[in-house]
Amino acid sequence: MKALLWRLASLAVTAGFVAIWQIVADFKLVSPVFLPGPDRAWAALVHGMVASNLATKLAGTIEHMLEGWLVASIAGVVLGALIGSSRFMRAYVGPTLEFLRPLPASAVIPLAIAIFGFSPAMALGVIAFGAIWPMLLSTVHGFAAVEPRLYEVARALHLSRWQVIAKIALPSALPDILAGLRLGLTVALILAVVCEMIAGLDGLGQWVLLAARYFRSPDLFAGVILLGALGFVGALALDIAERRLLVWRAPTNSP
Amino acid sequence: MNKGSCRAGEALIRFSKVDLSFSDRKILEAIDLEIMRGEIVCLVGPSGCGKTTALRIATGLLAPTGGGVAFDGAPILGPRRDVAIVFQDYGKALLPWRTAAGNVSLALEAVGTPRAERAARIDALLAKVGLPHHADKYPSQMSGGMQQRLQIARCLAQEPAALMMDEPFGALDAMTRQELQDEMLQIVRTTGATVLFVTHDLEEAIYVGDRVIGLLPHPGRIGIELKIDLPRPRDQIATREDPEFLRLRRELYEFIKSAER
């Protein structure tokens, strides 16, 4: 009941925001060339989906984002597990990671273009490079922070190395890994759009950029709305996954 | 009344001239100790006397720098599956992401119990430690006493010949501690396990033990050995009022007092 009220309240805030937007547009407080009302943006969205290729662009962006995110996630978790579970690896590789990590991923785009050209491979490389950091660092942290006592329990039970990873280290690091996955998804979406803008790949980035160049602001807003929705759905999906996987973190009756 | 009498004279765990030093600091010196089959031996001593360290050496988690510990005649080179360790910090020794049943299951998975047999074994073990209706609870939903019972259940899943207990009840309130002392003694009586029990609570040591070893600090070495001939099963009221209990208590307190000086 209470949860329902909260949800209604948050919906009301969204509706209020859209209403203000509509009023601002109707009274032409901002030139309609730059700011279409939500009605026009919605019409452009529907039109783009039905009559134009907006759906293809959306699919393109989803594909770029998910591919890059998946590659980054797998590589980040595997590398993070290797580095995090060994003190020596942490000491050896740590400084290099600290140098690479703060590099803005957009700064490696020219490099990626030089290597891969204006291709989907370039986008994949850039997105994966940018999105791997939250995954890698949170996994390293998760594996390094496993309770040492649990390793002693594992020794006492003669668990194999593989069993220790699967039954103790990985579940223990899971909350950190999920946080990394969530951050990584956001980064992947941002970089997917940037790559589409720069390399002209099929996607919402390109759609938004072209709409802006031709002063088709309703189309521009349609693209932005879709990007927002994409990020929202992605976060929601991870939220649900997290709640499923981390039931044990929400005790129903703590002592 | 001594439980190990059927195979008396046979040592299950034998410390011979165990030394341990970290760099130039001596932690333990020339510990010689035999623990008979089925015997409950308690290690007490002032803090810093190395009683937990001695237990860790006996479990194989820690290697001594001199001498050695033999289990059933074979030198201990690492942890053994038939030696279960009950850690004091049950909160850290349990897997918080597994339910009570899942935590017991870990030990069964380790020994390769077939999946089909696990559920029945888990139910029996949880019932044995008094947690029959808590199989689906996570550790975070259990009290300290329940969590420690759960850890004991996991240890029993190993079907241990020996239990190494490192201040197992030290973090519990007095009532829960006494309950668990009695439950532990009951379980040990039915399984016939040998127990090495580290505690800082002198009365607890006398109450549960067949023998109490007092360590002297800096470096840790054996200072006193008391045979506890109180009748079993022990009783929280009768045993603690027994004149022999009181005499042993006085002797042990005086030893600890002099050891701390």
Sketch the domain layout of chain B as residue ranges.
3-82+161-260, 91-159
CA-nearest of B197, B187, B198, B161 to B72 is B161
Are B79 and A168 an interchain contact pair (Cβ–Cβ within 8 Å)?
A: no
Is A149 in contact with B81 (Cβ distance < 8 A)? no
The answer to whether position A217 is within a domain reads yes
Q: Is B141 on the interface with A (CB under 8 A)?
A: yes
For chain B, positions 60-99, list CB contacts with chain A under 8 A. 61, 78-79, 81, 83-85, 87, 89, 92-93, 95-99
pLDDT in tens, A160-181: 988 998 999 999 999 999 999 9
Cβ-based neighbours of B127, under 8 Å, separated by 6 or more: none
Is B259 within 8 Å of chain A by CB?
no
pLDDT of residue B5: 42
Q: Residue A144 is part of a domain; what is its CATH number?
A: 1.10.3720.10
Residue A209 has what pLDDT? Answer: 92
For the segment B14-29, what is each residue's pLDDT rounded down to a tens digit?
A: 999 999 998 888 889 8
CB contact (8 A) between residue A156 and residue B79:
yes
B36 φ, ψ to 5°? -80, 160
- pLDDT, tens only, B228-242: 999 989 999 999 999
Q: State whether the Cα torsion A99-A102-A107-A112 is positive or negative.
A: positive
| Chain Cα centroid distance, residue A213 | 27
pLDDT score for B3: 43
Q: Compute the mean pLDDT over every residue in chain A, rounded to the nearest whole number.
A: 88
Residue contact A159–B110, C-beta within 8 A: yes
Residues of B in contact with A158 (CB under 8 A): 79, 81, 110
CB contact under 8 A, B110 and A163: yes
* The predicted structure's pLDDT at residue A250: 65
Q: Do B143 and A255 touch (CB under 8 A)?
A: yes
Contact criterion met (CB < 8 Å) for A168 and B95: yes
pLDDT in tens, B163-209: 999 999 998 999 999 999 999 999 999 999 999 999 999 999 999 99
pLDDT at A120: 84
Res. B257: pLDDT tops 60: yes
Q: State which residues form the domain around A189.
A: 37-246
Q: Name the residue among B85, B96, B144 with its Cβ closest to that of A156.
A: B85
pLDDT of residue B9: 58
| Count of the separate structural domains present in chain A | 1
| In the predicted structure, residue B6 carries a pLDDT above the cut 80 | no
Would residue A78 count as lying in a domain?
A: yes
Residues in chain A within 8 Å Cβ distance of B141:
251-255
Q: Exposed (0-12), middle (13-18) or buried (19+): which is A167, by Cβ within 10 Å?
A: buried
Asked which of A107-121, A180-194, B149-163 is least confident by mean pLDDT, the reply is A107-121
Res. A33 pLDDT band, cuts 50 70 90: confident
Distance from CA of A71 to the nearest CA of B (A): 27
Q: Does B199 touch chain A (CB under 8 A)?
A: no
- Strand order across the B66-71 sheet: B25-36, B11-22, B66-71, B74-75
Q: Does B59 touch chain A (CB under 8 A)?
A: yes
Query: Residues in chain A whose beta carbon is closer than 8 A to a beta carbon of chain B?
Result: 147, 149-150, 152-153, 155-159, 163, 167-168, 171-172, 174, 246-249, 251-255
First-to-last alpha carbon distance for chain B, in angstroms, is 36
The pLDDT tens digits for B26-38 are 889 889 999 999 9
**CATH class of the domain defined by B3-82+161-260:** alpha beta
pLDDT of the residue at A59: 93
Cα–Cα dist A65/A139, whole Å: 20
Say yes or no to pLDDT of B49 above 70: yes
